Structure formats: structure tokens, C-alpha cells
A = this chain, B = another copy of it.
Amino acid sequence: MSIEAKFKKLGTDNAPGQEGRQQSAGIESLMRGSALAGRPVDFSHGDVDAHEPTPGSFELFSAGVSLGGAQAYTEYRGDIGIRELVAARLADFTGAPVDAANGMIITPGTQGALFLAVAATVTRGDKVAIVQPDYFANRKLVEFFEGEMLPVQMDYVNADETRAGLDLTQLEDAFKAGAKVFLFSNPNNPAGVVYSADEIRQIATLAAQYDATVIADQLYSRLRYSDVTYTHLRAQAISAENVVTIMGPSKTESLSGYRLGVAFGSKAVIARMEKLQAIVSLRAAGYSQAVLRSWFAEADGWMDDRIRQHQAIRDDLLSVLRATEGVFARTPQAGSYLFPRLPALAIPHADFVKILRLQAGVIVTPGTEFSPHTGDSVRLNFSQDHQAAVAAVERLVALVERYRA
């Protein structure tokens, strides 16, 4: 593949946070009516001013700076003291051992972990099973390394609310067709659904049977709402060498500005990831690594409060959306993404997303980023100021009415 072709596939025009670089020429001719007033809300990512970073994070960073060179220049896989702290907590959280010395790496964000994990397992021509819909970078990563994507549908719309709705037959078919890697997010980004214990066990069984590596992106697995049961793949019947789990404090903990993530599990894959990290960016920023000291050790009640606040926002947004004819929105069981499906409109949904930004000050991520089959949906990260988010979704549904087919 020529380098032009390779980068053409890597489109970021609709990527969250890049809206400012979009060309919107010609969109005015499609517009109806005047702008809707209201505080702009950027649902493409969480608002860390509304939900602030974990208390004490900056002080830990500051202490890291005071440590000087020892904190600035860590092993590429991260400071061993911090790895030991975090590994023990991740083992507790996931219910399976984490080897701080050889089975874990600290990365620049969970994006950094995903990049390294895919690079360490996928090369030209390799088949990779990818869920549709799922985090948009998954597909781009596979394409960048010239792997072949085998899509596996997740029918979150029609599934029983206790299941994510993964098509396990299609997953097995992908393995039968030669997929050696399965990459998925749980809770799912963008749909906010959690895989049932049964789905996770079946994934584990199939991966073991076909000797596939599973990369499990569990970025949002701490932010779980009432009554959800969460099952960690790595604690199921699968060889520890066949799973890499990815997490990080950028979302629920609002620590994105420090760029921190971790990957843990397969020692062989982690070793490759570190080799690559050495030429990608050396290490997660040394001083930032110190911020991980408080991860999974936040003050009592802090996480409960954070979950309660997000659940309240979620419920209010769902009420507004569900009062609108033709909108489908499944209740997110975890994380801070809503992925409503909009009704048929008189203009293409892609244009609606642009108009929503220009006429209502509301930024959402178009559904096409997550699956070719979800072009009528939009993703909202509802980790926002509560009142501003409700008002913004009210503007969104007002524009749905205005542009309804």
C-alpha cells in the first residue's frame, strides 16, 4: 500500500476534538431557521471542568517533579514502584494476578496502550475480529498495520438488556476464517452496554479454542451503574498469555491531561509493546506516572459520588431523548456514552451533525465513526455539566424536529 493510500484511510475529519479543523463550506444552504441559543456543549469528550480530576492528582504530580531524574527517566514500561502499586490494585479489581515486573506497561493514555497492543499483535495480512459498533480507532489501527478486519456485529438494539448482543456465531466464524486477534471494548464504546457473564465466558472459550489473543479495552469498567454485573475476561477460563487488558484514568477519573494508561496481561505481548514504546515516545511522561499512585485508592465515597452524578445525567438525557418520536436510546449500563439512533431526517445525518454544531452549539460524534451500519446514530459523552447537557440535548431534539423527514 502506498503511503498516500495508507494515510487516506486514516481520516480524522470527524474525529472527536478535531471539529475546529473541519471545512463546512456549502452547509449553510441546507440550514433551516435560526440558531438556538444556549451554552455550547462538546459531547465529543468529557468535561473535566464539570467533573474534576481525582482530588490530590496535581499534588502527586508535583511530588513526582520533586523526585527529579528518578521520576523523569523511568524504564520504558514505567516506574517499577508505581507498577507494583497499581498491579496489586488491578489484580484485586479484575480478579486475576498482574505481574508488575513483566506483565504490565504504563503508556501515554489508553490510546497509547491500544496502539502498542495492536502493533504488537497485528501485521500485514493478519485477520482481526472487530466489533461493530466499537471505538473508531480499533478499525483505524488494524488498517494502519495493514491487517484485515473481520467485522462482528453487536446488536445492542434488539438484544435482551442483560446482554451486549454480540453475534457469537460471527465471532467464531471470524476465528475459523483465521482471525488471530479479537479487539473489543467492554463497556462498549459507543453504546455503553456491558457484556454479560455468559458472553464473556463464550469469548474466552472461543479464544482459547482458536488460540487467539484478545485485547480487551476496559477503559470505562469502573464507572458502572446500579444493578450491572461486570465480568473481567482475564479472570475467565483463558490463558493469561492470550489476553491483554487495557485501562486508564483519563475518563472516569478525568485525568486525561496527564496522558496515562496501562496494559496488563500477556508477558510476550507486553514485552513487544515496550520495545515499540522505546521508539514511539520512550515512555509515558515520567512526572505524570506519579499521578497513578492514587488510582484505585481514591477517597472513600469519591467514586460512588461520581457514579451517582453520571447516572443522574444519563437518566435525564434519556428522558429527553425518549420523549422524541423515532429516537431509540438503550440505557447505558456503564461509562459515559449515549448512542441514540435518530429518526429519518430530510438531510443526511452527517450534515445534521455539522448543523447541530453550527446552529445549536452542540458537538456530537457521528455514528459512522463506529460502524458503517450506525450512520443514523450519534455518540454523546455525557460526562458534562448536568444542566448544560440537558439543555443541549433539548436543542438536539428541537433540531431533530426541525429537520425531520
A27-35, A119-127, A163-171, A311-319: which one contacts chain B? A119-127
| Chain B CB within 8 A of A20 CB | yes
**Min CB distance, A369 to chain B, in Å?**
12
| Chain B CB within 8 A of A387 CB | no
**A108, A123, A282, most chain B CB atoms within 10 A:** A282
Complex alpha-carbon distance, A284 and B114, angstroms: 16
The contact of A279 among B1, B140, B288, by CB within 8 Å, is B140
Given A65-B257, A282-B259, are A73 and B272 neighbors across the interface (CB < 8 Å)? no
B3 and A122 within 8 A (CB) = yes
**Min CB distance, A130 to chain B, in Å?**
14
The contact of A7 among B108, B120, B285, by CB within 8 Å, is B120
| Chain B CB within 8 A of A229 CB | no
Complex alpha-carbon distance, A109 and B76, angstroms: 13
- Which residue of the partner chain B has the closest CB to A50? B69
Residues of B near A69 (CB, < 8 A) are 47-49
| Chain B CB within 8 A of A141 CB | yes
Residues of chain A having any CB pair with chain B under 8 Å: 1-3, 6-7, 10-12, 15, 17-18, 20-21, 45, 47-49, 52, 58, 61-62, 64-65, 68-69, 71-76, 107-109, 111-112, 114-115, 120-124, 126, 137, 140-141, 144, 256-259, 272, 274-276, 278-288
B68 and A58 within 8 A (CB) = no
B280 and A111 within 8 A (CB) = yes
Given A2-B123, A256-B72, A259-B108, are A144 and B279 neighbors across the interface (CB < 8 Å)? yes
Complex alpha-carbon distance, A274 and B6, angstroms: 14
Complex alpha-carbon distance, A311 and B354, angstroms: 57
Residues of B near A71 (CB, < 8 A) are 257
The contact of A48 among B62, B72, B111, by CB within 8 Å, is B72
The contact of A275 among B12, B276, B282, B283, by CB within 8 Å, is B12
B257 and A281 within 8 A (CB) = no
Complex alpha-carbon distance, A190 and B47, angstroms: 44
Q: Can you report 30 A-B residue pairs in the complex whose CB atoms are below 8 A from each other?
A: A3-B121, A3-B122, A3-B123, A6-B123, A7-B272, A10-B276, A10-B278, A12-B275, A15-B278, A17-B74, A18-B76, A21-B75, A48-B69, A52-B68, A61-B61, A62-B62, A64-B257, A72-B257, A109-B281, A111-B281, A111-B282, A112-B280, A114-B279, A124-B124, A256-B286, A257-B286, A259-B259, A259-B284, A259-B285, A280-B281
